[in-house]
Structure 1
Amino acid sequence: MPVSPIGGGDAATLTGRRAERAALDRLLTDVRAGESRALVLHGEPGVGKTALLDHLAGRAPDCRIARVAGVEPEAGLAFAGVHQLCAPMLDHLGRLPAPQRHALRTAFGMSDGTAPDPFLTGLAVLGLLSAAAGERPLLCLIDDHQWLDRASSRTLAFAARHLEAEPVGVVFASRAPDDDLAGLPELHVEGLGDDDARTLLGTALTAPLDPRILDRIVSETRGNPRALLELPRGRTPTELAGGFGLPGTHPSGRDPGDGFRYRLTALPAGTQRLLLLAAADPTGDAALLWRAARHLGIETEAAAPATAADLAGFGARVRFRHPQIRAAVYEAASPSQRREAHHALAEATDPETDPDRRAWHRSQAAPGPDETVAEDLERSANRARSRAGFPAETAFLERAATLTLDPARRSGRALAAAAAGIQAGAFETARDLLRVATAGPLNEAGRAQADLLRARLAHVTDRGGEAPLRLIRAAKRLAPIDAKAARAAYLDALSAAMATGPLATPGGEVQEVARATAGQQPPHRPEAAPDLLLAGLAANVPADHATGGPVLRRALVAFDTPPDGDLRSLWAAALAALHLWDDTRYHVLTSRYVRLARASGALGELPRALDARACGLALAGDLTTAASLTEEARAVAEATGTRPAPCAALCVAALRGRSAEAPALIEVAARRGEGLAVTVADWANAVLLNGLGDYPGAMAAALRSLGHQRYPDAGHLGPASRAAPELVEAAARGGMDATADEAIRWITAMAGACGTGWALGIEARSRALRAGGRTAERLYRESIARLARTRLRPELARAHLLFGEWLRRERRRAEARTHLHTAHRMLEAMGMDAFAERAGRELRATGESTATGDGELTAQEAQIARLARDGLSNPEIGTRLFISARTVQYHLRKVFLKLGITSRAQLDRVL
């Protein structure tokens, strides 16, 4: 059965709403063309009116945005809303006729006087909006209009009706249109369609959900976005349990209140029992409900009072008016009443077509330990995982352990539940289950498994230096008992050692772990992909690329056919692809890693999978998507209580040239004590400083990154090797020829062994930095040709930049401009600001402008340029235009590039 899509979306993206977005786009187009437009958005609370206003504002960076939101406590304060909207425009007050100016000043409490004339106040607001729109198009967004004070409501509606040939748009968002807004164009905002509602719900879920349960949620929320997004809050994945969980947790963490309970207690007893049956069944299956009702002797007439009270509907599907009502019904029942309802539902569920849900209802109906039910749950656990991921498997196995009386069986089931819980990211649940397991009798295999699970739990939650040693000890203990499980544990230990690096506890260093894995291959052939990976990684630790690379390459070829089983091996496989400089396989492996982690609800793996995928996207130049995935990884990590190192965030900050952001992230990585993060942090610092032109600092950072392994005596597993090209560039530019040459020798040996376009392109670029004449030119051109056939657009852009810099020094300015323009366009498009500025400086040194088009400024750029020419500082310009000083600097940079200048002093000449 397919699972619902989860995660992976950009939180800022508006889901669905094609008709509404089209209407807002038409309004915006008309306003930009100089025509005034008004629109009233109305719909129930939470339906997405504010999101539509946000969407409109985001679509109009060239417009001035004025916003106001009605607040219920201020509904009695006359003109409070108008003042909130118009206060930033009061510098135009002097342009109004004296009577209008006096009326508005009186309304705002700026002057003494009698109550202002409503007509004059309306004309004054109209004039103020018109004057503000003279600078650039104006959008007035009025949210929660129903809470606006009456004077403001009438005044703003008056202005909206009387604006004519002005570039002004006025959009109201209200629960329902009232008399003040009569006559203005309206757009009713309804709940999302089913497909869009499923998509939105998927962004809020951290684990898969059974499609039948998802359909019921969509139905009961009627596509209301707020209800869809609030439903999973406060619930762990195992509580949701893939739809098998109980409805007792309130979706938004709020008690539904005494109102629902009062309405429930006023209903006939048969109706209350029928509603409890409906609440206990997560599927909304009407046929199942009525079979269960007959089992309890409940007549069909019992539905009528619930329908009349507008609590639930009983059609082809059973649907509560709101999920909170369902929760209130379930919580209002006593434990014995709930068990009765679940027993009836179990009896009504077909054991052939839906054995898992029957087992679940039987488990909730059991008053105490019941081995028969526990066995059913155990049999259902694997099927539950295939339907709804590790959280559902954890829930089934945990409940099975709870219902088990025999101590040995209870310990075994608790161990299995703990293993699933670690994968599901339910770490506290896993700890509790391990305590249950070890409290009972365990054989040697059980004790070894418990040791392994404790070590895995410590690794995913702590990432500390002790994890590799604990994992290798558990693997050794498992080896004589279960060779396959032991090999998986050895791979875990090696992965942990690579992540921990030089910060590992003695005995857990990567070299020690690699030695311990020797001879762990299975006796049978052909070898499985994870087994080949274990052998390949172990072989590469003490050896160089030429010696260890072929074994690792065989492993990656085996991963081209997705292996069954362990999701955890994909992180190590992706690291192996980095080691071999294979960007294509890294892309495939990290994409698969994220997809499988999401689909299986493996929240214990998802943050690391997202981080690995984001690193690949950043290296490919898609910094926006990479940053989005890092945010998703952070959110999942917070939900599960883990602390992943910010490797991808470091990568994004470094490539963007964010000198203010990167050092803080580097400090966080160092504090967390994960060696891989420290290595990445030093590499990121080298990239950042090369972009900024700080070559001594870049060389020091690159040497630190490489120094975490035995450079230059061996290959580098994963990210460390990425620092070698940074070292070459920094050392060559800093005149440290011997250092550059040593790094080039290492890169040449690596590239010869790996043979990928990425490796060979980097080799050619690095060698070109130390070559001269025709040799340098040939190598630069080879680098560009090879890197152009990879996904690595930042590396390609940097090759163009270095070649352009070399050509300029050779006084071949015309050719230099071609490559520098290419580099500048690529770097600017990717948001690699530091390198783009470096390319811009080189272009200007050739006498060329860095203009990317015809040199024309946008309206906002022209306004910022004029204010800067007139001597205003960035903060002053930001205050005037209601944008941040940082945004002002961003636009000024684009102004300088378009106009081919380098300072504010030149603005007066070119404007």
Structure 2
Amino acid sequence: MPGIDDTLLGRDAEQAALERAMDAARAGQGGAIVLWGDPGIGKTALLGYAAEHATGFQILRCRGTRAESILAFSALHELLWPIVDRIDGLPTPQAEALRGALGLSDRAHDPFLVGVAVLTLLSELAEERPVLVLADDTQWLDAASTSCLSFLTRRVSDESILVLFTAHERPEGTSCDGLPVLHVQGLDPVDARRLVVGQHPAMPDAQIDRVLTLADGNPLALQELPDAMPPWSVEAATLSSGFAEAAASQLDPDEPVEVGPRLRRAFDARVAALPVPVQTALLIVAAGDGAEIESVRSAGQELGLDDDAWQQARLTGLLHLAHGRISMRHPLIRAAVYDRATAAERRAVHRALATPASGLDPDRRAWHAAYATDTPDEQVAAALQDTAARAWMRGARQSSVRALLRAAELSPDSKAAGRRLALAARNEWNTGRVDSARAILRDAEAAAGHRTAVRFSGGLEGMMELGHGDPVRALELFERDAAVAGRYLEPELRHLARRAAWSAGLGDSTTDHDAMVLEALAAGEDLIGWWRLPPAIQAVAIGKAEPTWELFQHVSRDARISGNMTGLLTTLNSLATLEMALGRWDDAAENAASALYLAEQQGQQNPIARALLTVGWLAAVRGEHTDAVAATERALALSRPRRVAALNAAGYWNLGLDALGSGDVDSAWGFLAPILDPEHEAHHPTLAALAAPDAIEAAIRLGRTAEAAAHTVTLAAWAERTGASWAISATELAGALAADGRAAEDHFRAALTVPEAADRPFQQARTQLLYGEWLRRARRRTDARAQLASALRVFDRLQAAPWAARARQESALAGEALDPNPTGSSRTLLTPQELRVARLAAKGLTNRDIAAQLFISPRTVGHHLSHVFPKLGITSRDELAGMDFEQGPTILP
């Protein structure tokens, strides 16, 4: 292929793939590739090829090392350091998050927000010139950096950004799973022979054949093994004959050993033949694994090494120096050097690196001190706990967990060990590793007792149960733990106990359930702690949807700014619930989609179910039967085993509405009736009240007048207790459906004129539909058309297709000529993401603001808008601001 460099023998296909990817990135079609294969196979050389041929690109690099895999955001620090001065240009929340991750500030932020910041930073850099990210040895990247890069790679399809990873294994089951892969394999025999002959032209053919057999096409082995095969070698000036003999004795080509172990043996023999001071110098480099040269030499001074030892170490050809850092030329060499040393030798080297004189940062010194001891040491344990706290503040939860677990191992006192284990359990839960968090919490309790485990984990056992398990059990745990939590934690656990009781359908609606809403509204913007927010559906049920929505909007903004993704997840789900009731269905769809994404990222099972139920409800009322059933059944599969009554009830309500909208009244009653049955798994007091109007309609249409009357009594009691406009209106509607003549019409009129009843437009429109049907049957066709037309406008705006079709049919029977196939709306013209972007842009948000809300890049926002404008027949954002996205692509008056 023209333009392919032949300096890498046998890599034409790989070079061509990299060239194509770079050309695509130049054209604004970014992506990522994982180059995987055995150690020494040539992956790093291919990254070098990409860097050399990335004309016009900004190149950013990082490399994973074993030593730094435990340090929070160490790889990200290396990657972004060349452009760190650009961080100040980011939106303030993102800039603060990224500065915290890189250790440039002590602000705590969620790692998810760090990922958004990196995406924005590189996207804006790519506006100036394409960006090439090279991440070598990703199997050893620290977890926080890996998560950040994974977030980035899934959002660069519309960016001039190419990310290249290398890894030892195929990436299934890793953070790179699903990315395009390039399997780098051994050289074919012809190219392998060319490589050996090119480097060792005097080697006899028989020896070449032996090397080819041993190396099996591995380029590193083809280059290194000849030096281990005397007597012909002329390349081993720095090696003793003892090395050659020892290596040769370990390289039997007939032995069934993989190439990696063969190389390890060769390197091991090579190191064994060196003088002891040189071996020590190499061991310091291996333990430091990419440390600064000054730090390594300082550690050498602690161990009595002189300049001559370092000079000899350099001449071995085993070291790599770059950008003021020193490491082994290849990870296999590092492993050979480190593993062959005795435990005492390794501890001595780590001890030298742990001294303040080494100049290493406190986190690295703490880990070296931990490696330097195998007995309990409170001073080292305390240093590791400080490291864990810094990692936590920077959003590196997994690094924090590892530091705390090691600190617990080194704690001489069981109480101290238990405290550290409890903190580790809380951090582990925040990473989504629920089973592991439970196991660590059990160890914490065993070490330090129940009270200590509760206080230092923040009542974690109940929180895990509420987020992932049975709310009845969660209630018991919160009540148990609140008794020993202490005055700062107790209020939080008491409130969470009330939330658990509500989720389980327990407690008294007239006290605890309503009070949670009223207390939160009374606190308003002074509300402290997202966990004090009330159940959103309870606010709907007692007629406080609008003020509660305003409160959740405020908390949501704070959560975004602070990077509190757990709080943001809670508010997004709740906003979606409130917006469904208020008729802001596209807003609800946006928030539910964001909540679902965050919940799946965090592994929060019950919040996943909540988001799915919103998706299912919207699909049901919009006539998307397949989607409604799929989302709802997936949610019920999560909530049923956990006995989450609120979620079970919402699922049955979804299925009932779906059936009611399609005209399958028998099925609708079958799903709705259980919600009102105190003995059924789907019963929940709040949802029973909200679903009662639908159940009453289904019962009356089936002739079940007794059941309808019973549910009307329950609904009337709810209306009287709460004074909620929707409940008063629904009670009047139930009366209308059960009555005849003038009495029925009085009830219909009363239902439609209840103050604030119109604040729930879907319910109001359905009342008008039923009234219009009644008027049509009473042969009052003109009056019927007026009610049906009003209902139809709302149904069309909301995209409530089943009810819109029913209203059109009734209008036709009433003598109104309507288009049976109305013009499509913005919702059908635009993709879901385009619709979200367009609606936010119409509100006046900048591309940056939209990107921050949707967790995409500003460039991607611009890409979506470039499709939105022609689809809607407009040319500017000013025109976009005049579009009505609820009713379709129409200009607002």
TM range (shorter): 0.5 to 0.7
Q: Deviations over 1:442-491 (max 9, x none)?
A: 37554898896445434433x24xx6346525633652673654554444
Code of the aligned partner of 2:594: L
Shift of the 846–398 alpha-carbon distance from structure 1 to 2, 3 Å rule, reads farther
Identify the residue that residue 891 of structure 2 maps to in structure 1: none
Residue 676 (structure 2) pairs with residue 676 (structure 1): no
Query: Which of 163, 173, 176 is residue 252 of structure 1 equivalent to?
Result: 176
Identify the residue that residue 877 of structure 1 maps to in structure 2: none
Residue 554 (structure 2) pairs with residue 584 (structure 1): no
Tell me if structure 2 keeps the 8 A contact 1:607–1:644: no
Tell me if structure 2 keeps the 8 A contact 1:398–1:414: yes
Pairs within 5 Å for 1:64-143: none
Pairs within 5 Å for 1:890-901: none
Q: How many Å separate the matches in 1 of 2:764 and 2:591?
A: 19
CA positional deviation for 1:836:
2.5
Query: Which of 585, 593, 599 is residue 628 of structure 1 equivalent to?
Result: 593
Code of the aligned partner of 2:616: L
Q: Deviations over 1:1-29 (max 9, x none)?
A: xxxxxxxxxxxxxxxxxxxxxxxxxxxxx
Residue 792 (structure 2) pairs with residue 824 (structure 1): yes
Query: Which of 802, 813, 816 is residue 848 of structure 1 equivalent to?
Result: 816
Shift of the 658–216 alpha-carbon distance from structure 1 to 2, 3 Å rule, reads closer
Pairs within 5 Å for 1:390-401: 394-401=401-408
Pairs within 5 Å for 1:26-37: none
Shift of the 217–683 alpha-carbon distance from structure 1 to 2, 3 Å rule, reads closer
Query: Which of 392, 397, 415 is residue 422 of structure 2 equivalent to?
Result: 415
Query: Which of 412, 425, 431 is residue 432 of structure 2 equivalent to?
Result: 425
RMSD across aligned positions (CA): 6.4
Q: How many Å separate the matches in 2 of 1:233 and 1:835?
A: 54
Q: Deviations over 1:337-388 (max 9, x none)?
A: 99589748995467xxxx7x57766667655454224324435655654442
How many residues align? The count is 615
Identify the residue that residue 694 of structure 2 maps to in structure 1: 726
Shift of the 452–481 alpha-carbon distance from structure 1 to 2, 3 Å rule, reads closer
User: Aligned residues: percent identity?
Assistant: 21
Shift of the 447–797 alpha-carbon distance from structure 1 to 2, 3 Å rule, reads closer
CA positional deviation for 1:597:
7.2
Pairs within 5 Å for 1:346-745: 348=359, 367-368=373-374, 369-379=376-386, 384-388=391-395, 394-442=401-449, 445-446=452-453, 453-461=460-468, 463-464=469-470, 468-469=472-473, 471-472=475-476, 475-476=479-480, 479=483, 482=486, 485-486=489-490, 488-501=492-505, 510=506, 514=507, 540-541=508-509, 545=510, 551-565=515-529, 567-570=530-533, 572-588=534-550, 611-619=573-581, 620-622=584-586, 624-625=589-590, 628-629=593-594, 631-632=596-597, 635-636=600-601, 644=609, 646-671=612-637, 672-673=640-641, 674=643, 675-708=645-678, 717-745=685-713
Query: Which of 783, 790, 801 is residue 833 of structure 1 equivalent to?
Result: 801
Q: Deviations over 1:681-702 (max 9, x none)?
A: 2211222222123334333432
CA positional deviation for 1:753:
3.8
Tell me if structure 2 keeps the 8 A contact 1:47–1:190: no
Shift of the 232–708 alpha-carbon distance from structure 1 to 2, 3 Å rule, reads farther
CA positional deviation for 1:765:
5.0
Shift of the 208–776 alpha-carbon distance from structure 1 to 2, 3 Å rule, reads same
Identify the residue that residue 779 of structure 1 maps to in structure 2: 750
Shift of the 374–291 alpha-carbon distance from structure 1 to 2, 3 Å rule, reads same
Code of the aligned partner of 2:422: L
Q: How many Å separate the matches in 2 of 1:811 and 1:52?
A: 64
Shift of the 668–716 alpha-carbon distance from structure 1 to 2, 3 Å rule, reads closer
Q: How many Å separate the matches in 2 of 1:492 and 1:776?
A: 41
Tell me if structure 2 keeps the 8 A contact 1:476–1:486: no
CA positional deviation for 1:576:
4.0
Residue 111 (structure 2) pairs with residue 208 (structure 1): yes
Q: Deviations over 1:472-530 (max 9, x none)?
A: 256336526736545544444443343344xxxxxxxx3xxx5xxxxxxxxxxxxxxxx
Pairs within 5 Å for 1:223-372: 252=176, 292=295, 295=298, 314=323, 334=338, 343=354, 348=359, 367-368=373-374, 369-372=376-379
CA positional deviation for 1:415:
1.4
Q: How many Å separate the matches in 2 of 1:549 and 1:667?
A: 27
CA positional deviation for 1:432:
3.6
Q: Deviations over 1:252-280 (max 9, x none)?
A: 378999879999999x9999999999986
Tell me if structure 1 keeps the 8 A contact 2:397–2:430: yes
Code of the aligned partner of 1:375: A
CA positional deviation for 1:852:
8.6
CA positional deviation for 1:625:
1.9
Code of the aligned partner of 1:782: T
Q: How many Å separate the matches in 2 of 1:638 and 1:683?
A: 25
Query: SS of 1:660's equivalent?
Result: helix
Tell me if structure 2 keeps the 8 A contact 1:767–1:779: no
Query: SS of 2:625's equivalent?
Result: coil
Identify the residue that residue 520 of structure 1 maps to in structure 2: none
Q: Mind listing any 5+ residue stretches in structure 2 that lack a counterpart?
A: 1-18, 32-49, 51-55, 61-82, 102-108, 150-165, 169-173, 186-217, 225-262, 271-277, 302-306, 315-319, 340-345, 830-893
Q: How many Å separate the matches in 1 of 2:398 and 2:783?
A: 60
Pairs within 5 Å for 1:3-42: none
Identify the residue that residue 91 of structure 1 maps to in structure 2: none
Shift of the 795–44 alpha-carbon distance from structure 1 to 2, 3 Å rule, reads farther
Tell me if structure 2 keeps the 8 A contact 1:400–1:413: yes
CA positional deviation for 1:744:
3.8
Tell me if structure 2 keeps the 8 A contact 1:702–1:723: yes
Tell me if structure 1 keeps the 8 A contact 2:432–2:603: no
Residue 718 (structure 2) pairs with residue 750 (structure 1): yes
Q: How many Å separate the matches in 2 of 1:341 and 1:248?
A: 31
Query: SS of 1:47's equivalent?
Result: helix
CA positional deviation for 1:705:
0.8
CA positional deviation for 1:823:
3.6
Shift of the 749–412 alpha-carbon distance from structure 1 to 2, 3 Å rule, reads same
Identify the residue that residue 147 of structure 1 maps to in structure 2: none
Shift of the 225–621 alpha-carbon distance from structure 1 to 2, 3 Å rule, reads farther
Identify the residue that residue 22 of structure 2 maps to in structure 1: 44
Shift of the 701–586 alpha-carbon distance from structure 1 to 2, 3 Å rule, reads farther
Identify the residue that residue 78 of structure 2 maps to in structure 1: none
Q: How many Å separate the matches in 2 of 1:717 and 1:236?
A: 48
